[in-house]
Amino acid sequence: MKQEFGDLSSYKYLKEFYEKNLDESLKDEKSIFYFCSYVPVEVIHASGFKPVRLNVNLETFYLTDEVTPKYLCPYLKSIIELFLKNNLKRKNIIFTDGCDSSRRVFEIFKELSFVDKFYYLKIPFNENPKDIEFFKDEIEKLYLLLNGKIDKEKLVNSINLYNSGKKKLKELISSSQIDSLTKNYLNYIFQIVDIEDFLNQKFTIDNKNSEIKNKFYFFSTIFPLKFIEFANSLGISFDYDDTCFGYKNLSLIEENSLFSEDPLFCIAKYYLKREGCVRKRDFNTRIESIIKNYKNGNYKGVIIYNLKYCDPLIFYLPLIKDRLSKENIPTLIIDDDYTLGAKGQIRTRIEAFLEMVK
């Protein structure tokens, strides 16, 4: 990241910067790609690699129908489309068993020879002590695969670097002078660039306040960035991103008595216990967290992006809708397949919702 970000009030510059760096990362042999928020980026960095979270904007699926099941998660399907379109082979990838689709995509990537060095990370559903120990063992195996040995000093250094990066990013996106699209792209840039480059980058914030839009709470698992852009063009500002890779992931790995002695345990505990994924069994607590965060902000309503075939979200959606209704929280659910193929219908529903919450 050698060039300056420039005017942070213009998300278009950040979008161009993000796409440019993503293209470069796809060619970089030191990149390790991941698709799940349970993947510990600190371990990847401590092993001398660059963690890169893939998020693809696409209009439609051209190449994937012959190689993927019909009901595969469209987000993961978009990654396969990206690999097929660019003829990407022998890449370094970390898979997880976070959901049924992520299990299937592991087999697809192997069959199509997309992978070179890879690891299949198993994630427990609960966060009890035995679950943390299990996940710690999984992360340790990953570290040994990537680094060849357990180097606690490197791991602690990587944890500290990412903690510092999260603090810096959180401070930036907390500014009322930055619009929601800029916040989203800053967050996504943070997920693909080298952490040292991010920390060394000097940011310039425009003193002019961005256009005031209707503020909404955004909830989903995974979404295409162009959905945020489209909603923004209709007058919606998603000031709270409650998604798999949203702002809740900016919490820090806390230092404690085990921090230097057993950093792998600290990482495992952090990733299992943070607010995290919709796959968690204790989803009532998750819903209460949505309500609490919503009430703490000055939002006009909740907008849920329901990704087609996303089983964890689809399963809990009726519970979320019912609970928010009881709290008299205006809620809009947008169904989409990651392509915005029904953009006209989405526009109509958003515009009607805006009229309702005036």
Determine, yes or no, domain membership for 2: no
- pLDDT tens digits, 132-162: 999 999 999 999 999 999 999 999 999 999 9
Return the exposure string of 227-238: e unless at least 16 CB atoms fall within 10 Å of the residue's CB, then b: bbbbbbeeebbb
Whole-model pTM: value is 0.92
Q: What is the CATH number of the domain that holds 28?
A: 3.40.50.11900
Percent of the chain with pLDDT over 70: 93
As for how many domains the chain has, the answer is 1
Cα torsion for 91, 244, 212, 327, to the nearest 10°?
A: 170
Across 18-44, average pLDDT: 93
pLDDT at residue 126 tops 50: yes
Contacts of 320 (CB under 8 A, 6+ apart): 219, 287, 290, 304, 331
Q: What is the Cα–Cα distance from 24 to 310, expressed in whole angstroms? A: 29
Which of residues 72 and 207 earns the better pLDDT score? 72
Residue 213 contacts residue 232 (beta carbons within 8 Å): yes
Domain range for 322: 11-356
- pLDDT tens digits, 310-347: 888 888 899 999 999 999 999 999 999 999 989 999 99
At residue 100, the pLDDT reads 83
- pLDDT tens digits, 193-226: 999 999 988 766 554 545 557 899 999 999 998 9
Determine, yes or no, domain membership for 275: yes
- pLDDT tens digits, 257-286: 778 889 999 999 999 988 777 776 677 888
Determine, yes or no, domain membership for 178: yes
Percent of the chain with pLDDT over 90: 56
Determine, yes or no, domain membership for 5: no
At residue 243, the pLDDT reads 93
Determine, yes or no, domain membership for 141: yes
* pLDDT, mean over the chain: 88
Per 3-state DSSP, the chain is made up of helix, strand and coil in percentages (nearest 5) of 50, 15, 40
Q: What is the Cα–Cα distance from 223 to 288, expressed in whole angstroms? A: 22
**Residue whose C-alpha is closest to residue 276's, from 284, 286, 268, 267:** 286
Determine, yes or no, domain membership for 3: no
pLDDT at residue 103 tops 70: yes
Helix spans in 9-128 (H): 11-27, 41-46, 74-85, 100-111
pLDDT tier at 2 (50, 70, 90 boundaries)?
A: very low
Residue with tokens 């510092």: 164
